[in-house]
Every structure is written in structure tokens, then in C-alpha cells.
Amino acid sequence: MAVSDAGFEAGWRQVAGEALTGMSDWRREHPSATLGEIEAALDERLRRLRTQMLQDSALASPAARFQQAPTAQRPVCPPCQTPLVARGEATRRLETEGGAELALTRQDGTCPNCGRGLFPPG
């Protein structure tokens, strides 16, 4: 199921608002914090927003629901270049460059020619 850009942005605004409010609260609670401590607190809050935006953007990719695409537009098996056939959904847990974990649940595919399974990128 695709979420509209407006739906994504509303969720992102909420997470961003929580980050701003949380940072203001944190700063009041830590008036003597060093620049490094302030930076670490800010980075943690921004990491949450970044992770949500990454996850939502990846799930908005056509590769997340490729079964709905015409065969010619589906991801292909790397070795034999045959369009994949959906075999249900799978969830992958990935770690971002910032060290946060995100979960991507999307269609998993199988090559009808060689049987190779693939979790399409994108």
C-alpha cells in the first residue's frame, strides 16, 4: 500500500516536531551541557527523523510492490535477467549509516527460470 506524499510529510512533520520539542526540553534539563553533549542529543533526535524518512521513501519505491507492475518493468534476476515473480512479503532489518535500525517489509521475489530468491532493491 502506497502512502501519499502528503501522508509521508505529515508523519515527518510529527517526528520533526517531537525532535524540536524534545531538544528544547533536553536543553532546559541540561543547562550546563557541553557542545559535544548538545551535539549528541541533537544527533539522536535527527537520527529518528532521518530513519523514518529513509524507511518511508524506500517503501514508496515501485520495487516494494513490484507484482503490480507490468512484467517488463519488474526487477530481474541478476544472473539470468528474467523478471521476478512475487512470492509474498518479507521484512529486512537494515542498519543505516547513522547506526539506526529500520525495517522494510515488501514483496520478495523468485526467478521463475533459475529459482533464485531476491529481495528487490530500491
Same domain, 11 and 53: yes
Identify the helix (H) or strand (E) that includes residue 107.
strand 101-110
Its domain, for residue 20, covers 1-60
Q: What is the mean pLDDT of the chain?
A: 84
Same domain, 71 and 107: yes
pTM recorded for the entire structure: 0.64
Same domain, 37 and 91: no
| Counted domains in the chain | 2
Does residue 121 carry a pLDDT above 70?
no
Same domain, 90 and 71: yes
Same domain, 46 and 32: yes
pLDDT at 108: 84
Does residue 114 carry a pLDDT above 60?
yes
Top-confidence residue, 120 or 13:
13
Give the bridge partners for 104, in sequence order: 92
Mean pLDDT of 18-35: 92
pLDDT at 25: 92
Query: Per residue in 20-31, is it b (16+ CB within 10 Å) or e — as a string?
Result: eeebeebeeeee
Mean pLDDT of 52-73: 80
